[in-house]
């Protein structure tokens, strides 16, 4: 099928590349001239495992093309995806301006095609309930072309987006037209492994499914983060509790890992948007409010714990931050817990050193020379009074801990991701403080503050 993707950001590029990989002819439209140049030069503008290779393969074969011209790209398309950003405004409501502009551009291009033209417009951007319906009625007023609008929320995780796109748990399509549902079923045919995983529903249900999915996952994390407080107080292990409840098939094990809070461009934004969507109909969503408050508190608690365990105020103490990305396998720092943790540490006048295998350049833009930037965890920990581990990069589990302990002022690690092995910490002489798990407290005395 001939498919046009409006917006070659993260979602658009992954979706377009995967649709090309399953045999469709895909044209990606991008308005940012620098990004168009990059794409047409065959470079992938974002870091996502496996994407660059797949994109280059299908760009080279001609199956995937890029342009800056909307009307050219929409001409002859059977399906047009809207994949533009819907970022949060400062008050937490959704900024719809990019989607409105994309809708208008597509509308002009569609109107120019005449009444015989048939197209299905697919909204992939995350949008508040009611948006697709409004878009449909707006477009119908502008053109006599035979068009349909469907909502098709994305469930891609950064770091495994290509796999999530090519092997989806489910495909959700919201709309009102069986003809459009059929079109989408045809489009996704190679990806539908079980018929029941292709779900059709009305526009509003599909729109709210997206917010509900992210809020449910964030709720599970916040619930476990709240449990860490009880675990610390009563001497329980949150990992054992995770296994204990995750093995119940009604609960399941995913997204129950406690830590220093969730981040990223999706959970914080979508949970906040759900609160606003609730407020808009006069409903105070206490549950969603709690998910957010717990997440905000968790980062503060993490810094309070550093202070408490070091046994003094941390003014002048050197804290080595390992991990800046909001999760492993990405350079993305949006809403990363590291942002708040570093801010709190700086507010308390700690001396912050930091490292990350991918996200350091992005974080440098935020904290500039307020932080000492280090090329690797070993250099970062040297001379420090404590390490604060904030991203679960797998390479952090196999570091030369004995050597690191020897170079630190105090060999103490606060593990905000519960990803290090307690036995290794014990053997290598660390004081080790995970989240909601028993600590390793070697008899070794903390040195006085530098
Ligand atoms: C999330 C969802 O998982 C995707 O399904 C969704 O499509 C995407 O948002 C989106 O709306 O576009 P993503 O933000 O890439 O994907 O990252 P996740 O893997 O979900 O992790 C989010 C945050 O939760 C990270 O900070 C991670 O460290 C944290 N997390 C995750 C935990 O603290 N505990 C867990 O058990 C799992």
- Give residue 87's pLDDT: 87
Residue having the nearest C-alpha atom to atom 17 of ligand 1 = 157
Torsion angle, CA of 412/416/421/423, rounded to 10 degrees? 40
Among 139, 27, 9, 13, which Cα is nearest to 72's?
27
Q: From CA 268, how far away is CA 334, in angstroms rounded?
A: 10
Residue having the nearest C-alpha atom to atom 11 of ligand 1 = 266
Helix intervals (H) in 145-285:
161-166, 178-187, 203-234, 238-246, 267-280
CB 111 within 8 A of CB 145: yes
Q: What are phi and psi of 320, to 5 degrees?
A: -95, 115
Residue 256 CB less than 6 A away from ligand 1: yes
- Give residue 188's pLDDT: 98
H-helix or E-strand spanning residue 287 = helix 286-310
Residue 255 CB less than 6 A away from ligand 1: yes
Residue 264 CB less than 6 A away from ligand 1: yes
Residue having the nearest C-alpha atom to atom 31 of ligand 1 = 255
- Give residue 447's pLDDT: 57
Residue 203 CB less than 6 A away from ligand 1: no
Query: Choosing from 8, 18, 231, 266, which is the catalytic residue?
Result: 266
pLDDT digits (tens, 9 = 90+) for 78-108: 999 999 988 888 887 888 889 888 988 888 8
Residue having the nearest C-alpha atom to atom 28 of ligand 1 = 327
Residue 153 CB less than 6 A away from ligand 1: no
Per-residue pLDDT of the chain (450 residues; tens, 9 = 90+): 999 999 999 999 999 999 999 999 999 999 899 999 999 999 999 888 899 999 999 999 999 999 999 999 998 899 999 999 888 888 878 888 898 889 888 888 888 887 778 899 999 999 999 999 999 998 888 888 889 999 999 999 998 999 999 999 999 999 999 999 999 999 999 999 999 999 999 999 999 999 999 999 999 999 999 999 999 999 999 999 999 999 999 999 999 999 999 999 999 999 999 999 999 999 999 999 999 999 999 999 999 999 999 988 899 999 999 999 999 988 899 999 999 999 999 999 999 999 999 999 999 999 999 999 999 999 999 999 999 999 999 999 999 999 999 999 999 999 999 999 999 999 999 999 999 999 998 755 555 443
8 catalytically annotated: no
Residue 389 CB less than 6 A away from ligand 1: no
Task: Match 């469709």 to its residue by tokens.
Answer: 24
Q: How far is the CA of 56 from the centre of ligand 1 (A)?
A: 27
Mutate-to-test residue for ligand 1 from 124, 164, 217, 273, highest number of ligand atoms within 8 A of CB: 217
Mutate-to-test residue for ligand 1 from 13, 18, 85, 156, highest number of ligand atoms within 8 A of CB: 156
| DSSP β-ladder status, 431-433 and 171-174 | unpaired
Residue 59 CB less than 6 A away from ligand 1: no
Q: How far is the CA of 250 from the centre of ligand 1 (A)?
A: 21
CA angle, 280 then 283 then 288, to 5°: 95
Nearest atom of ligand 1 to the alpha carbon of 263:
26
Q: What is the pTM of this model?
A: 0.93
Residue 266 CB less than 6 A away from ligand 1: yes
- Give residue 443's pLDDT: 56
How would DSSP label each residue in 31-73? --HHHHHHHHTT--SS--TTHHHHHHHHHHHTSEEEES-HHHH
Q: How far is the CA of 247 from the centre of ligand 1 (A)?
A: 21
Give me the helix-helix angle, 10-21 and 51-61, nearest 10°.
60
- How would you list the strands of the sheet with 318-322, edge to edge? 372-373, 351-355, 318-322, 386-389, 412-415, 431-433
CB 310 within 8 A of CB 448: no
64 forms beta bridges with 26
Residue 161 CB less than 6 A away from ligand 1: no
Nearest atom of ligand 1 to the alpha carbon of 210:
11
Q: How far is the CA of 160 from the centre of ligand 1 (A)?
A: 11
């Amino acid at each position: 099928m001939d498919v046009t993707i409006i917006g070659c950001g993260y979602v658009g590029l992954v979706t377009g590349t995967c649709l090309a990989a399953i045999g469709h002819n895909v044209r990606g439209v991008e308005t940012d001239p620098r990004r168009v140049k990059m794409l047409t030069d065959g470079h992938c503008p974002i870091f996502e495992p496996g994407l660059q290779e797949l994109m280059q393969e299908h760009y080279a074969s001609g199956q995937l093309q890029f342009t800056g011209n909307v009307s050219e790209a929409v001409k002859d398309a059977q399906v047009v995806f809207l994949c533009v950003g819907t970022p949060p405004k400062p008050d937490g409501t959704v900024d719809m301006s990019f989607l409105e502009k994309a809708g208008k551009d597509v509308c002009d291009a569609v109107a120019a095609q005449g009444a015989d033209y048939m197209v299905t417009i697919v909204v992939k951007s995350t949008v508040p309930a009611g948006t697709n319906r409004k878009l449909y009625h707006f477009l119908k007023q502008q053109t006599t072309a035979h068009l349909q609008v469907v909502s098709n929320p994305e469930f891609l995780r950064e770091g495994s987006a290509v796999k999530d796109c090519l092997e989806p748990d489910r495909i959700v399509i919201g709309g009102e037209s069986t003809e459009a549902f059929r079109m989408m079923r045809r489009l996704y045919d190679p990806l539908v492994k079980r018929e029941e995983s292709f779900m059709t529903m009305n526009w509003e249900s599909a729109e709210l499914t997206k917010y509900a999915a992210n809020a449910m996952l964030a709720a599970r994390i916040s619930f476990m983060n709240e449990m860490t407080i009880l675990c610390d107080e009563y001497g329980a292990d949150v990992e054992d509790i995770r296994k204990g409840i995750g093995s119940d098939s009604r609960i399941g094990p995913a997204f129950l890992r406690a830590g220093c809070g969730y981040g990223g461009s999706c959970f914080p934004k979508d949970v906040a948007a759900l609160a606003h969507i609730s407020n808009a109909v006069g409903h105070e969503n206490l549950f969603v409010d709690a998910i957010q408050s717990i997440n905000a508190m968790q980062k503060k608690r993490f810094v309070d714990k550093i202070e408490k365990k070091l046994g003094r105020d941390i003014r002048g103490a050197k804290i080595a931050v390992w991990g800046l990305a909001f999760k492993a396998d990405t350079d993305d720092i949006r809403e990363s817990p590291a942002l708040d943790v570093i801010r709190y540490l700086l507010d308390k006048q700690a001396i912050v050193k930091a490292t990350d295998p991918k996200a350091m350049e992005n974080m440098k833009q935020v904290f500039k020379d307020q932080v000492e930037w280090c090329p690797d965890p070993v250099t970062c920990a040297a001379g420090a009074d404590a390490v604060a581990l904030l991203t679960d990069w797998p390479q952090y589990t196999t570091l030369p801990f004995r050597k690191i302990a020897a170079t630190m002022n105090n060999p103490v690690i606060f593990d905000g991701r519960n990803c290090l092995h307690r036995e290794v910490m014990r053997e290598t002489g660390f004081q080790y403080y995970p989240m909601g798990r028993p600590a390793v407290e070697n008899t070794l005395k903390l040195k006085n503050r530098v």
